[in-house]
Amino acid sequence: MKAYQIKIELTDSEPLIWRRVVMPAGATFNRLHDVIQNVTNFQGGYPGSYHLFEFDLPDENMRVTNDEEAYQEHQHFKKNRKEIEAKMRNVPPEYAEIQEARLRNLQTVIRKQTGIKIDTYLEKYGEINYIYDYGDGWYFLITLEKTIEDYHYGYPTLIDGAETAPPEDVGGLRVIMRF
């Protein structure tokens, strides 16, 4: 079975908090989220989501997320694109910059985490940004280290790592580093 050896790094952590995991090919972004949650001991893994999260794929102009509100807003935008774009472009000049930023945000494709697999994006880009808990702002970088063609297990395996992840709901690294 094909698999991916990935490195999961908590961005801006000092010393660097990281985990090395083997992920079977065909895993969804939801499965990757669950794995990240489990190897960091956060609470947002299976069977539910404790906080909102997203995988940012800027080269695809896409976000993969459990944020149902963002997904519904994007669906509404797709159905009413011409009308919404016309309204947003017809604003006073002092609001134009804000509306353009809002329009760019609406034009970003929003996909649900359960319906899309990681394979294409890991292989094509080699790294994926992951944000967990919008309030605390835990930022992770997932990097493809190598592809394994003969993985014998059908489940993810933690194979290495360093440092203990901080506890959840403490305000994120930017808050922790101020103390």
Write out pLDDT tens, residues 142-178: 999 999 999 999 999 999 999 998 888 888 886 554 4
**Domain limits of the chain?**
3-65+113-176, 67-108
Residue 106 contacts residue 73 (beta carbons within 8 Å): yes
What is the pLDDT, as a whole number, of residue 49?
Answer: 66
In this structure, what token pair is assigned to residue 26? 């065909």
pTM of the model: 0.90
For CA atoms 145, 148, 152, 154, the dihedral sign is positive
Q: What is the C-alpha separation between 166 and 14, in angstroms, rounded?
A: 11
Distances (CA, A) of 115 to 41, 64, 78, 106, 112: 25, 9, 18, 20, 6
Over the chain (179 residues), the average pLDDT of each successive run of 10 is 97 95 97 94 69 95 96 96 87 88 92 95 97 92 98 95 89 61
Nearest residue to 54 via CA among 135, 116, 115, 112 = 112
What is the pLDDT, as a whole number, of residue 178?
Answer: 43
What is the pLDDT, as a whole number, of residue 67?
Answer: 95
- Which helix (H) or strand (E) segment is 125 a member of? helix 119-125
In this structure, what token pair is assigned to residue 39? 């190897």
In this structure, what token pair is assigned to residue 35? 């794995």
Q: Is 3-65+113-176 a domain of CATH 3.40.50.300?
A: no
What is the pLDDT, as a whole number, of residue 45?
Answer: 56
C-alpha 151: how far from its chain's center? Answer: 25
In this structure, what token pair is assigned to residue 111? 């996909």
Q: What is the 3-state secondary structure (H, E, C) of 52-90?
A: CEEEEEHHHCEEEECCHHHHHHHHHHHHCHHHHHHHHHC
Question: Residues with Cβ < 8 Å from 11, sequence gap 6 or more?
Answer: 139, 140, 141, 173
